[in-house]
Structure 1
Amino acid sequence: MSRTPVLLDCDPGIDDALAITYLVAEHRAGRIDLAGLVCTAGNASLDDTVANALAWLELAGSPELPVAAGASGPIAVPHALTPETHGPRGAGHAELTTTRGADPRDGARLWVDAARAHPGELVGIVTGPSSTLARAVALDPALPRLLGRLVVMGGTFRGHPGNTTPVSEWNVDVDPEAADRVCQVWEDAIVADPVVMAPLWCGLDLTEHAVWTPERSRRLLEVSDSPLTHRLVDALRFYFEFHASVGEGYVAQVHDPFVAWMALHPEVVVWEKAHLRVECAGEHTRGMTVADVRGQRGVVDNARIASDVVVPGGADAVLDEICAAIVSLAGPPG
């Protein structure tokens, strides 16, 4: 059976690190073909996101993959970094180094090249701002038709509060114009060809159920005392401290690996069709993901909004599977 080609567009970022290592494990297990990583400025600067991605791949024992630098910031506003959330360079308390180098291509070009190399098959996963993807669809407007599926960690739905403003999720809030451009491009593509699959948007109302605890970190080290697991635990400790500082408790909401897992298990994801747009102008609502699930706008549905995963144990069981995948990379304690 052929392996599913996957491209990850990320902004590592602590929970991005878990998504990267999980996808490397799936690649090494022969379940996917990890076609490359695109790095977008988000949680950290573009230089740091690229360096972090290369370091996590090296720690995970990944084969050489193309890692391309994408957008260095949002379309319309200055880039707001998040050192309080992910640490000064995006890796929490982890000290990262790498001997690997980045691909010379622009991240938007890697999106297009990967899609054209796997027409109708590539699964694109976005766990950071949509800034590079917005550039990729401008570079090649056929991208929605070329992709097999697109899965986005972004937004918040069904009245769930935001984590950046009362109504906005961070990935969308940092570059609403890019996220809205993605919505517009897929709407146009679906109007032109109804066979085009609408992107799956995974918002905070679902991803906040993926909660990593200190106990899970302890169990990870018990079964795999390796450089990879130690660096991940160091990074996650910073994430615990951030969540505690904002009243969430000494835990970490790990959105990105949960979304990566959903991208590889579409058969268990519950979703509903919607027409999605992103508010870019409202004084109090900028960055809000506005999903019309009742057809009130009278236009084509351009999104699928994820609401649940149908697996025994829910998000905790998914994190168990992700943890086991990471252990498979690092090996037993030694």
Structure 2
Amino acid sequence: MKRSLISVVLLGICIVCSEGLFYIQKGNCNERIRTLQARKNKLTSDLNSCQTKPKPIWPIPVYPPSPQECVGAKIDLVFVLDASSSITTPNFELMRKFLHDFLSIASIDNGDVRVGLVIFSTQSHIQFNLKDYNSKSGVLNAIDNVPYKKGRTNTASGLLKMRKMFRVKFGDRRRVKNMAIVITDGVSNVNAKKTIPMARRARARGIHIYAIGIGLSKTKELNKIASRPVKKNRFTVQDFTELRTLRDKIFRSICINVNKRPKPRPQKPKPKPKPQKPDKSKCPHRCASPAQCEELNGKVFVEYPCPKGQMCCKPMP
């Protein structure tokens, strides 16, 4: 009876795996059967996982062509990224990817667009200035190497560094529009009272600021950072994975602002010329004696001076 039972077990195990014969011949059949069954389950699970396509982190977008408004548009652009502890490492990587996507349609290699980058947490750190890279590959490689600092949220310091980056010695170009994109997930908790004044000073210097808030329940500070009108320059998303949806909207807005011609100031009507008062320091006609003026049927103007014994006389026809 034992032999027939063992024969049946050997036949079943051989179907699963040839190693079964070796294990069962050494004894302890039940333990070996459980081991082989576990291996079979693991192999089945691995096979199923290989056949399942992993879900991509980013939705695969269909990129539209670069807007016509952007052709030939010259821009000096600085990104201001929040690198505080609330961001987390995976989300900081998503911000890097957003910058990659955003700059993928920027004309960097031909010199139209210059890019700088500053990050802020407890303190702010300039990663590269506008003059540092003149190729798209150089800019993208530099973005890949930007460190995640962690810390608190000192937005004011990031705005201050951004404003100072727009100087000729750091690569700022005269008569080229200055733009900044601020990305943050929180409200300032370091130098909070200085955040809005720093944004105002930057805007007063002619820097156009786009502000992007991620997962914010209160946008008061973000609204004060962005340029006017707020509705066109402040953007909010609920999650870092939604950043990509803003790329074309912001890029097109930047190009339109760059090429927008300022509205001509209404000219004040020219004042009507005031009638000139006659110069009473001399006679506009001729000075003559009373007798001569009488012979000429002249009209006398007593308000004009003449030599002694003469009068200002206008001969009449």
TM-score normalised by L of structure 1: 0.34
Specify which structure has the bigger relative contact order, considering alpha-carbon pairs within 8 angstroms and separated by 6 or more residues: 1
TM-score (normalised: structure 2): 0.36
